[in-house]
């Protein structure tokens, strides 16, 4: 067991980074993978002097395709396994892969095509694989036994019941009766082994990509949601840790209350934790989750960090977030455990939202860097804390916008005349066409230790390239980068900005 350091600093090395989901990387198979194009993106990061690559959650996605609603808080997404690497291993043939339709467009993911093809093609590879004979595979299964056994059984039973959510399974296995667990492990033995194989290949390919990224002096920032999906192996296998009734239905669910942006708030629908029960067993599930995340990432961004301090509880039968109430979370008890569980990894606290004094106090006590989003600051109010000159503490990660926000071009295009006039004055330019570069450069000059730019903003893309519109389903998480678009970026200028403003990569990583 590796030892953790006492009084560890969570401050990040000054640098710049790019936000690009794995799903958005170019590929021939409908969605980004851990193959050649990912390595080429890392090379691009090196050429522009970046220290950081931020990705979205890389877990297996469910209905709606959101990476924040995953079948597991531990497992990896089978879509990201690179098929060309499996061909090189002799596990697949070109003709088998080419027999499937993977995409209708190179710049948009068709999740239906990917879903219908990916598992089928991976099963061809599984049948030819001799992974069970490999020591690496045996070590992988042993090291991940806490979650792997439950996840592979869950996915196998889900397949057995035509992909229905676990609440609709037969009662014996829904309630995890010992006899049912044994029964399904016996009849689904081959299917369970397949899902073990999928996770092994995911881990093998990801570790290869991460090692290459770190060798270039670039750290990977991973993103983990605070909550997990109701239809997940985590809730099914550890139902006692969640607010569920005797029929396993959620009693209260997560979300955020109404505000100036959303009249009815946001009802996310994730089941809430029984924090008291978790505390009784020493937060074992969280301990294992953070250990697992620290293996995957150099820096872990905890989404909706404020929910650790205060969380919004919505009655499950309420169709909106109007009727919820704030409740107290575990606070420092959990953050102390997080610190002790992640070894050399670091944390970013996504502290956007209602920043009550106790949230601010906990972030100060932990030393975790928080976040600023520049798009939240350009309303004409010079005292807005999201404006660059109000960044009092450099221990932060600054964004123009995150995956939940408009692209920079889309944002500027939607501003009224008064706001646009203020924005041009603030960034010292008279022409609207010069604003994107002026804003990006200004972020580089800021005293924020880390700045993260969405790839779409370097490319000056409008909102058709936006990744997510919160509280909507159907057209999110689809944008993809075209390989030809690299040519549109002035790499020399970005490298110079990294150098001029003390953000240049100089070897090593934060992992």
**Token pair 């390989």: residue:** 483
Structure tokens at 410: 């889309």
Measure the CA–CA gap between 333 and 260, rounded to whole angstroms: 33
Torsion of CA 341, 347, 349, 350, to 10 degrees: -110
Closest to 114 measured CA to CA, from 61, 68, 37: 61
Low-confidence ranges of the chain (pLDDT < 70): 1-7, 505-511
Q: What is the helix (H) or strand (E) element at residue 256, kind and residue range?
A: strand 252-256
Q: What is the helix (H) or strand (E) element at residue 119, kind and residue range?
A: helix 111-128
Q: Residue 508 phi/psi, 5° resolution?
A: 80, 180
Q: How far is CA 57 from the centre of its chain?
A: 2
Q: Residue 483 phi/psi, 5° resolution?
A: -60, -35
Q: At what angle do helices 36-47 and 189-215 cross, to 10 degrees?
A: 20
Looking at residue 473, what is its pLDDT? 80
Q: Residue 13 phi/psi, 5° resolution?
A: -65, 135
Looking at residue 3, what is its pLDDT? 42
Measure the CA–CA gap between 97 and 235, rounded to whole angstroms: 35
Supply the DSSP symbol for 75. -
Looking at residue 262, what is its pLDDT? 81
Length of the chain (residues): 511
Q: Residue 424 phi/psi, 5° resolution?
A: -65, -40
Q: Across the strands, what pairs with 399?
A: 373, 452
Measure the CA–CA gap between 156 and 195, rounded to whole angstroms: 8
Residue 338: Cβ-neighbour burial (10 angstroms; 0-12, 13-18, 19+):
buried
Measure the CA–CA gap between 263 and 257, rounded to whole angstroms: 9
Q: What is the pTM of this model?
A: 0.95
Structure tokens at 248: 């396993």
Q: Across the strands, what pairs with 18?
A: 53, 453
Looking at residue 173, what is its pLDDT? 98
Looking at residue 5, what is its pLDDT? 42
Q: Give catalytic residue positions.
A: 303, 350, 404
Torsion of CA 147, 148, 150, 154, to 10 degrees: 130
The pairing of strands 346-349 and 299-302 is parallel
Measure the CA–CA gap between 415 and 504, rounded to whole angstroms: 33
Measure the CA–CA gap between 248 and 167, rounded to whole angstroms: 7
Measure the CA–CA gap between 268 and 290, rounded to whole angstroms: 22
Looking at residue 260, what is its pLDDT? 75
């Amino acid at each position: 067991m590796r030892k953790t350091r006492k009084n560890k600093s969570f401050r990040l090395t000054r640098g710049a980074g790019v936000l690009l989901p794995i799903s958005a990387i170019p590929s021939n198979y409908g969605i980004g993978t851990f193959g050649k194009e990912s390595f080429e993106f890392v090379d691009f990061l090196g050429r522009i002097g970046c220290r950081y690559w931020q990705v979205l959650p890389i877990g297996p996605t469910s209905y709606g395709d959101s990476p924040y609603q995953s079948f597991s808080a531990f497992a990896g997404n089978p879509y990201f396994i690179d098929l060309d690497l499996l061909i090189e291993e002799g596990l697949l043939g070109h003709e088998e892969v080419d027999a499937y339709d993977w995409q209708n467009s190179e710049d948009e993911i068709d999740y239906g095509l990917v879903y219908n093809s990916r598992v089928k093609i991976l099963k061809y590879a599984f049948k030819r694989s001799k992974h069970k004979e490999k020591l690496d595979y045996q070590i992988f299964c042993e090291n991940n036994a806490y979650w792997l056994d439950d996840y592979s059984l869950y996915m196998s039973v889900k397949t057995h019941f035509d992909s229905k959510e676990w609440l609709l399974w037969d009662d014996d296995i829904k309630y995890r009766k010992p006899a049912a667990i044994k029964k399904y492990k016996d009849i689904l033995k081959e299917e369970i082994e397949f899902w073990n194989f999928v996770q092994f290949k995911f881990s093998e390919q990801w570790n290869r990509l991460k090692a290459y990224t770190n060798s270039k002096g670039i750290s990977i920032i991973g993103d983990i949601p605070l909550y997990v999906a109701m239809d997940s192996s985590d809730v099914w296998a550890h139902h006692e840790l969640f607010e569920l009734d005797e029929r396993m239905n959620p009693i209260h669910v997560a979300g955020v209350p109404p505000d100036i942006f959303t009249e009815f708030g946001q009802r996310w629908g994730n089941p809430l934790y029984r924090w008291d029960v978790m505390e009784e067993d020493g937060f074992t599930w969280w301990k294992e989750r953070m250990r697992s995340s620290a293996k995957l990432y150099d820096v872990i961004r905890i989404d909706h960090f404020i929910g650790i301090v205060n969380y919004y509880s919505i009655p499950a039968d309420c169709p909106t977030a109007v009727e919820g109430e704030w409740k107290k979370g575990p606070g420092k008890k959990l953050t102390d455990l997080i610190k002790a569980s992640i070894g050399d990894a670091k944390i970013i606290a996504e502290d956007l939202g209602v920043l009550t004094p106790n949230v601010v106090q906990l972030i100060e006590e932990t030393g975790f860097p928080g976040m600023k989003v520049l798009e939240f600051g350009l309303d004409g109010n010079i005292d807005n804390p999201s404006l660059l000159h109000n960044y009092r503490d450099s221990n932060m990660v600054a964004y123009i916008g995150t995956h939940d926000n408009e692209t920079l071009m889309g944002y500027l295009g939607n501003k009224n005349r008064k706001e646009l006039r203020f924005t041009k004055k603030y960034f010292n330019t008279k022409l609207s066409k010069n604003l994107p570069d002026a804003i990006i450069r200004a972020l580089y000059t800021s005293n924020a230790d880390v700045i993260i730019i969405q790839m779409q903003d370097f490319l000056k893309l409008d909102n058709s390239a936006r990744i997510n519109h919160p509280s909507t389903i159907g057209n999110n998480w689809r944008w993809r980068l075209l390989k030809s678009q690299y040519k549109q970026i002035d790499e020399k200028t970005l490298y110079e900005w990294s150098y001029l403003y003390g953000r240049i990569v100089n070897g090593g990583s934060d992992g």
